[in-house]
Structure 1
């Protein structure tokens, strides 16, 4: 890393430059996109002007050593270097006939260039910074460069200021890759864009000089996905593989409970049992939204909006969602699939609301919960409620029943279900009232 100091006024900037030694770089402490950055400053007057420019973008300004070399962005994902791009500052190449302004207009006709980040490259703008860079080289926008002369229009190589990118992923020296990986790990970033200055990325900076000038926590991908030159790199893939490793669960289990009566009690009972197993339970019910036993919202929270609150909470291990018909009719379930769908019962309560006029209409709405059970999940129905049993053909996953009538009181259809390899939980008459399955 370059040696540097943080300053608040021009006088301190000049003193820092003297202590550090010229040439220096002056840049905002918390800027972005290369705004307000001036490099390769060799005189006090240049530092004073650069401080004023940097101060427009940040209350505090950095003065640091100027590393000489080419500008590279090294993308580190999950501790590995996945792409490297050499970034070339905005520039034009002379043809011996046209002025710099005319050459800029010609470059901006490239259909790959657009405003901001809308295209893979950004249009070059002639602004005060560009004019200053040209003046430093003894040029202005009306100068006609000789054929083949490269004229740079910006100190920095950011794509957002009109720079271009050349893929160098296959060229990086192992030492340079190691430095980038260690920097990302030291800061604790899973995804990091390392701005790396090196005369030649294929040679170790231990021998050539150079190093890291910035680490970006939210790096752009477009220079790697669609470089101006070289092979495109699918840098989204390693990010997705890090977030969703193959063979690892990528979603939390969802238990959805619906029914006419008893769904709130059942939901809270299941949530209590799961919490006793050491799980952080996200629970929705008619009394509110609960996370690990703490009520975070006090309201009727039995709809899809409340379900999404729980499913977005990164601390939740398992979701227990009371699912009322109102939310289903209004906007669906709030989740595409569930692991367990349970219907406690379907009774002719509150008919005539929102187009639900018959018990069959109500059964159709309630059955959506078990229809959403994925193929490896479980649908559970009330075997003592004929209307609940009637939706069994719509239920997804493995089908199970619960019943208060066991032993000799067991219904014929439930007995056949068990004999065919199905499962059920029932209460057997007798002093022990034991559960049998």
Structure 2
């Protein structure tokens, strides 16, 4: 995501020796941090190995540019420690790290995490830093590099106040309102998941079927009829009055004569307003003159066909907050006004008042800045003023008719002063209006006395009452209104999150996810399954692309029909996006094989294990981390987890596994060709390996880790061992359950093995399957779909000593442009295909000729092995597929496809066996 230059201040990069190679936002826990970070990949160019103590005058220039860096302690542990490091000598990537942190802090975004890591490429470093607002983080990264380039080239650095002002603007524009932010903070303390939904003030609390959504303080529980009724001011007033609640006498009319007659009958001032809206443009209080009454009537009619005229209730305006029919807080609201001095214009008096009262434009300000707008001009013109008029000394000029913190009203906490009888009236008014959260507007001389004794009244009910005035009043005590709000959404002991199961590994994670999902569906769960074949909600596939990623997890957690999420989590997603959930209930790490080493910062299996360990680490304390005890890199993850470990092994004589079980730990392992489960209840035999269809009498031994991990997961979900055994035997590996993984079909006495191998281990497993028939097999490869980047290299290395015919075809002519679900991009309001956000570009295209395709494949192979293969390209995919039905002699075929849904259609429509 990049900054929209039409919305945000420009900070284009200046010329200089330092260059930004890339900027990337990681939104969930990932390789570098357990929280969201931005990765600034910085090319230091000629300064790649130059330390700051070798750059003349650098420390002094940096201190003059950004003197507040003096407070940074760095590794020295005391103020001034960072500059001590600069004087002693450090690389410029480290300096950039401190600048991005400091600039965000100066703009009100207090972040304190940063690190700088080498990419392994000369002079190129990853500067990793925490962010609160993504666009502000990107802006900060560019601004920081600009400052360094300006210092290094001797140019005048950009103005720091201007930079931080722009950052504050970006942050303010996208930040949550005060009320939403307070509710989120309270939810974080209660470990309730919080998911922003497109806009900063539409937020989901909780996940899946337990979720509650709010916009402002209107909740998913707020009755629509209650909100609609309170917006109709006439209807709401009648409802209150008919219920015996003190309310102003009111007339709705289109006739000015009826308005005048009503005013005369009252013999006191009246208020005119629109029945359908309430703001300065349609509210005129305190009218006690016929000419003024007619003027107000004309102005109201400009906004609505009908007009409400009410008796004027004497006193001050109080806003009583009622949540879940309970009194919570109260604020006195006073409309802003300026007092003439006989010299200054009204515009100048407003400027002075803003300064005197320290009014600010930021969302969380105690007093909002007064800015002349159409509503204020309407009020002024009603009294015969303009902004350029100079009122006489002592003359009070009202700037707003509607008391609201948003309009700049003075707010004073009076929660402790509200008479109990008035509290009860407010609670009953909210209840009659049908609102779960309501602002009850009471006008009376003194809120500490019963309004029935002081001729006070309830003049309005506001749905979705803003919390700003209670959380940050101009005067008085701050009130905790977020806690009772969350108490309403999630009463004590009410569930707020669904079960999350996350599985990662180098091989078998999709199969493990399928098996776990199958078991849970049979147990009655409404599951959401995300993996490399797509997304399934309650057994129905809704997306057919590779969705083992951050967005898929979020999509499932947002679905109100789901009570359990089963997520395949790929190494690519961990590195590029981070986890799509906060914490899991079960985190599974199957295995770590030497693949995915092409990913940035992944140079060896240790790095890969560190990336995958995130799935084991980000698990609730009362959850389970399921680990492969046969792999030391995975077993060592126990040192970094806070959850309860469950181990699995192919060999129960594994010393670490035995020690774990002897201490009462849970686990699963193979012993004498049987799978046993160790739980708190003892050792239980789950099944003989030969009785498990997925194991395939040893032909699918590569899936044994997936089977063991799924058994451990079922035990963690409290399934009884006998039930686990039954479900394991009931899972049949076919096209509906495995979707193109290790499927075997038998057309005309031939054997066709369909798979989508992800790396060398899977390919070696397939080669072993062919050991008894190695002189009589062919390989078919579907070039549609997302073939792994390193597939042909691994393929050539595994099969390099074989002389094999490789038949190439496309099951789908134009995979990239096929129909797919769509999502909205919240930043630019564009609707884009969901898969385009995650899918890698196609390497092959059906319009390429045979030579181009074969050359492309050979370029991806080792040069020494490509000559062992005979390639044949079929432009007609049906012609190629029909070769699988040959009955001249018994053949074995390997069919590779990463686009199984189209392959399945192609086969089912043209062959008799599927």
Normalising by the smaller structure, the TM-score range is: 0.7 to 0.9
Distance between the aligned counterparts of 2:542 and 2:289, measured in 1? 59
1:26 aligned onto 2:268:
no
1:367 aligned onto 2:613:
yes
C-alpha contact (below 8 Å) 1:40/1:66 kept by paired residues: no
Q: CA deviation at 1:242?
A: 4.6
1:68 aligned onto 2:319:
no
Distance between the aligned counterparts of 2:540 and 2:452, measured in 1? 55
1:132 aligned onto 2:382:
yes
1:242-274 Cα offsets, whole Å, 9 max, x none, are 556676655443211112232223223323433
Q: Paired residue for 1:377, among 607, 619, 623?
A: 623
The verdict on how the C-alpha distance between 1:253 and 1:204 changes in structure 2, with shifts beyond 3 A counting, is same
The DSSP-based 3-state class of the residue aligned with 1:112 is coil
The DSSP-based 3-state class of the residue aligned with 1:261 is coil
1:421 aligned onto 2:669:
no
Distance between the aligned counterparts of 2:405 and 2:397, measured in 1? 17
More displaced, 278-287 or 296-305? 278-287
Q: Paired residue for 2:430, among 148, 167, 184?
A: 184
C-alpha contact (below 8 Å) 1:400/1:424 kept by paired residues: yes
The verdict on how the C-alpha distance between 1:419 and 1:226 changes in structure 2, with shifts beyond 3 A counting, is closer
1:365-385 Cα offsets, whole Å, 9 max, x none, are 322211223433211123455
1:74-117 Cα offsets, whole Å, 9 max, x none, are 1123332222122222234577x667847655434314224585
C-alpha contact (below 8 Å) 2:533/2:547 kept by paired residues: yes
**Residue in 2 that maps onto 1:144:** 392
**Residue in 1 that maps onto 2:682:** none
Distance between the aligned counterparts of 1:348 and 1:316, measured in 2? 35
C-alpha contact (below 8 Å) 1:341/1:380 kept by paired residues: yes
**Residue in 2 that maps onto 1:123:** 370
Q: Which residues of 2 match residues 242-257 of structure 1 at below 5 A?
A: 242=488, 251-257=497-503
C-alpha contact (below 8 Å) 2:551/2:580 kept by paired residues: yes
Distance between the aligned counterparts of 2:611 and 2:371, measured in 1? 58
Relative contact order, higher structure (CA 8 A, sep 6+):
1
Identify unmatched segments of 5+ residues in structure 1: none
Distance between the aligned counterparts of 1:276 and 1:188, measured in 2? 41
1:127-155 Cα offsets, whole Å, 9 max, x none, are 242242368xxxx9544355xx7554543
The verdict on how the C-alpha distance between 1:127 and 1:432 changes in structure 2, with shifts beyond 3 A counting, is closer
The verdict on how the C-alpha distance between 1:185 and 1:270 changes in structure 2, with shifts beyond 3 A counting, is farther
Distance between the aligned counterparts of 2:527 and 2:339, measured in 1? 63
User: Scaled by the length of structure 1, what TM-score is found?
Assistant: 0.80
Distance between the aligned counterparts of 1:87 and 1:354, measured in 2? 56
C-alpha contact (below 8 Å) 1:263/1:322 kept by paired residues: yes
**Residue in 1 that maps onto 2:590:** 344
**Residue in 1 that maps onto 2:136:** none
Q: Paired residue for 2:579, among 333, 353, 357?
A: 333
Q: Which residues of 2 match residues 254-293 of structure 1 at below 5 A?
A: 254-293=500-539
1:85 aligned onto 2:334:
no
The structure with the largest helix share of the pair is 2
C-alpha contact (below 8 Å) 1:34/1:161 kept by paired residues: no
1:384-405 Cα offsets, whole Å, 9 max, x none, are 5566446544444222123455
Aligned residues: 423
1:435 aligned onto 2:680:
no
Distance between the aligned counterparts of 2:663 and 2:455, measured in 1? 76
Q: CA deviation at 1:324?
A: 0.7
**Residue in 2 that maps onto 1:239:** 485
Q: Paired residue for 1:173, among 419, 444, 455?
A: 419
The verdict on how the C-alpha distance between 1:280 and 1:188 changes in structure 2, with shifts beyond 3 A counting, is farther
Q: CA deviation at 1:279?
A: 4.0
The DSSP-based 3-state class of the residue aligned with 1:342 is strand
Distance between the aligned counterparts of 1:426 and 1:2, measured in 2? 77
The verdict on how the C-alpha distance between 1:164 and 1:328 changes in structure 2, with shifts beyond 3 A counting, is same
C-alpha contact (below 8 Å) 1:198/1:211 kept by paired residues: yes
C-alpha contact (below 8 Å) 1:86/1:166 kept by paired residues: yes
**Residue in 1 that maps onto 2:460:** 214
The verdict on how the C-alpha distance between 1:202 and 1:352 changes in structure 2, with shifts beyond 3 A counting, is closer
Distance between the aligned counterparts of 1:420 and 1:216, measured in 2? 60
